[in-house]
Amino acid sequence: MTGNGASDRAFLGVEESLSGQKWVSRLDMAGENKAISIAQMTGLPDVIARVLAGRDVAIGDARAFLDPTIKSLMPDPSKLTDCDKAADRIAFAISRGERVAIFGDYDVDGAASSALMQRFLRHFGVASEIYIPDRIFEGYGPNPAAIGELIDRGAKLIITVDCGSTSHDALQEAARRGIDVVVIDHHQVASELPVAHALVNPNREDDLSGLGHLCACGVVFMVLAGTLRLLRTKGDARAAGFDLLACLDLVALATVCDVVPLKGLNRAFVVKGLLAARSMGNVGLAALAQRAGVNGPVTPYHLGFLIGPRINAGGRIGDAALGSRLLTLEDRDEAAAIAERLEELNRERQAIEAAMLAEADAEAAIEMASGDGPAVIVTERQGWHPGVVGLLASRLKERYRRPAFAIAFDGNGKGTGSGRSVPGVDIGRLVRKAVEAGLLVKGGGHAMAAGLTVEQSRLGDLRAFFEENAAETVASLTLAHRLRIDGAISASGATLELVDMIERAGPYGAGHPQPVFAVPAHTLKDARVVGQNHIKLAFAGPDGGRLNGIAFRAADTEMGATLLGGRGMAFHVAGSLSADYWQGVRRVQIRVIDAAVAR
């Protein structure tokens, strides 16, 4: 067992919580000793030392870990295969004033990547247009017709962002017409690459940069850093006037929303990007934050759960280009108008999602009712909106703690699906293997998220393939549902100072899990449903301390029912601490993810 391997002894004696999980300490004995050493050598509070030890932070790196910097964590862009070729071609387009077409994906990463590239080119006076394909009619990535259209409109260089690594036919069309294409992507890719002037993707087999965890916008940032360096060496005085670090708000937004591992350079991107976002220098981002009701300084939660979904709403059920357009704007009135439109689309998306989720969950429940259920949940329905299936997959993954796919079939038997995974199961690789086995029309993605197109006649074969290739791994992950606890705190110990210190050890997300703390044997003073199925809570500790809480999407769960009927009872609760802003007052709140009746 490693130093951050969980102990098997039940934390607070909770063998089975209200959500069916056993609580265990995140740290085994070696991890406990490591936490003690970190606290002794750095003077950090014990609870912070435990958080760092539980995330594989070396004792000697603990202090530096709390202050990640771009300078210390970002390698030379030239280490990315083809980055120098891409930078040289972009610099050439700038020097010649060529018209550039930016072809992006329809999600947040694609929108942010496209906006970052256009902002850069605009600074140098280069005319450019962003092309985001229609999710339903064109699907993911470049297609020959769209490439031809961009060339007909005068594009002399096409830059694909967050797509293009597998677009052989589309890129061949550009080559046939004598137009260079620079691909900037991060999705997993096969050994055979499409024809392109440069293909910058840290996940290509011959890339040794070690940056495969970056989202596409992070890769774009690297390419632009290399381009700026080249322009300076060529004596372009305009290069000194572009503040690339001020654009880290876009990189942070994409990094959080694309659920890439928050380690290494990604941590620095998000930490520094949040500082940029809080200055509200990006007019579009500021308008959307205001419309989404963001209170206080922007946090990863705001990016991932308030701002990101609204940008995605355009690509899911409306105009896919709205998000990228918003993020490039300088006009506040226009930004406010687009933010309002995205708000409307997001409400419409929520209504569609709720109806589809009821159907998907009913189907999944039937699948899970037999034994341990399938290793990979696959739900499908004709008539589902293909733009919302990714959200269904995410909800099912959260509820059943295993990879899940949702597939929308059209009237011709062709299904568009999206999948979400759990740590330890690489569904991007799983989907690529299914493509190679001839089970899918197409598909791809990365470890935690993937998309696919499948004929209805092959659905049974696909389910069997997933079972054969993922059952052993999923079984090992779900053999015992365990919630890892970083430590115990009381209501009186949950201070703003502690929250601030915990945030310094972040940001948290994929690959760097949010700390989970247990609050033992506190009396539930209040519990009521608020918003869309959430439960607002208030707890009192034995020493008189008070702690407010919120349990998201919990009202219709077994845990929610017990809490709603448990006023006056003592509970152990587990969750993450954060600072909540209410009427300008900052206070501590626990986001409850599990609970158990205190015996």
Q: Which pLDDT score, from 0 to 100, does residue 479 have?
A: 57
pLDDT beyond 60 at 363: yes
Q: Could you tell me if 460 and 182 are in contact, meaning their C-beta atoms sit under 8 angstroms apart? A: no
The Cα 69–Cα 378 span in angstroms is: 41
Domains of the chain (ranges plus CATH)?
Answer: 11-28+486-597 (2.40.50.140), 74-344 (3.90.1640.30), 370-478 (3.10.310.30)
Q: How far apart are the first and last CA of the chain?
A: 31
Q: At residue 567, what are phi and psi to the nearest 5 degrees? A: -60, 135
pLDDT of residue 315: 86
pLDDT on residue 446: 84
3-state DSSP percent of the chain in helix, strand and coil, to 5: 45, 20, 35
The tokens of 337 are what? 């108008």
| 447 confidence band (pLDDT: 50, 70, 90) | confident
Per-residue pLDDT tens over the stretch 106-158: 899 999 999 999 999 999 999 999 999 988 788 788 999 999 999 999 999 99
The number of helices, as runs of H, and strands, as runs of E, in the chain is 21, 18
Predicted confidence at residue 2, as pLDDT, reads 39
> Is residue 534 a contact partner of residue 551, using CB atoms and an 8 Å limit?
yes
Average of per-residue pLDDT values in the chain: 93
pLDDT band at 452 (very low <50, low <70, confident <90, very high): very high
3-class SS at 82?
Answer: coil
Q: Give residue 322's pLDDT band: very low, low, confident or very high (50, 70, 90).
A: very high
Query: Token pair of 538, please?
Result: 């208030």
Quote the CA–CA distance of 396 and 420 in Å, as a whole number: 9
In this structure, the chain runs to a length of: 599
* Bond from prior residue into 45 cis (ω within 30 degrees of 0): no
Q: Can you give the pLDDT at residue 3?
A: 46
Measure Cα distances from 570 to 338, 563, 566, 589 in Å. 47, 10, 8, 18
The confidence band for 482, taking pLDDT boundaries of 50, 70 and 90, is confident
**Does residue 478 carry a pLDDT above 70?**
no
263, pLDDT greater than 60: yes
Is residue 286 scored above 80 in pLDDT?
Answer: yes
Residue 388 confidence (pLDDT) above 90: yes
pLDDT on residue 327: 98
Q: State the pLDDT at residue 320.
A: 87
What is the C-alpha to C-alpha distance for residues 535 and 528, in angstroms, rounded to an integer? 5
Asked which of 287-291, 420-424, 463-467 is least confident by mean pLDDT, the reply is 420-424
Q: In what order do the strands lie in the sheet with 377-382?
A: 377-382, 404-409, 414-420, 449-455, 442-445
Structure confidence by residue, pLDDT tens digits, 563-585: 999 999 999 999 999 998 777 78
